[in-house]
Amino acid sequence: MAKAKFIFTALHNSFKVKVPNLESLSVTQIQEIEAFVKQRKGIFDFASYSFSIQKRLDFKSFQELVTLSGIDALFEEEALKVKKRERIGFGQYKGMFYDELPDSYLLWLLGNYHGPDKKHIEQELKKRGK
């Protein structure tokens, strides 16, 4: 019998777990996972083969909880990728993100601005292929 594979991702006040091999599990195994999620007032999404539970929990605690519940599984932790966005701190677009600025303004800044944020301007224009 195949073991469930859980890919754990910690979120701000909850966690999400993907079960990529859900189709290869037995009906009993799926029911055990469903009961585990329901007991913790979580939501199982069969369309994405994942479940989420509104509880702050780290990876090690999640592993222990699943093991204590009697579910035989393999575990993998996935880090949430957070994209850092820089804001412009001056001029008519102050407070906006560089990726929200019009091309014309970025090009104007490239030729006329010589401050510490020049690298953000150059990076954004490079991303846009300008």
Q: Which CATH number does the domain housing residue 14 bear?
A: 3.30.780
Rounded CA separation 5/19 (Å): 6
Using one digit for the tens of pLDDT, what is the confidence trace for 12-39? 788 999 999 999 999 999 999 999 999 9
Mean pLDDT for the chain overall: 91
**Mean of the pLDDT values across residues 76-104?**
86
pTM equals 0.62
**Which are the contacts of 114, defined by CB distance < 8 A and separation ≥ 6?**
none
**Are 9 and 39 members of one domain?**
yes
**Mean of the pLDDT values across residues 101-120?**
91
Our count of domains for the chain comes to 2
**What is the pLDDT, as a whole number, of residue 82?**
65
**Angle, CA of 119, 125 and 126, to the nearest 5°:** 85
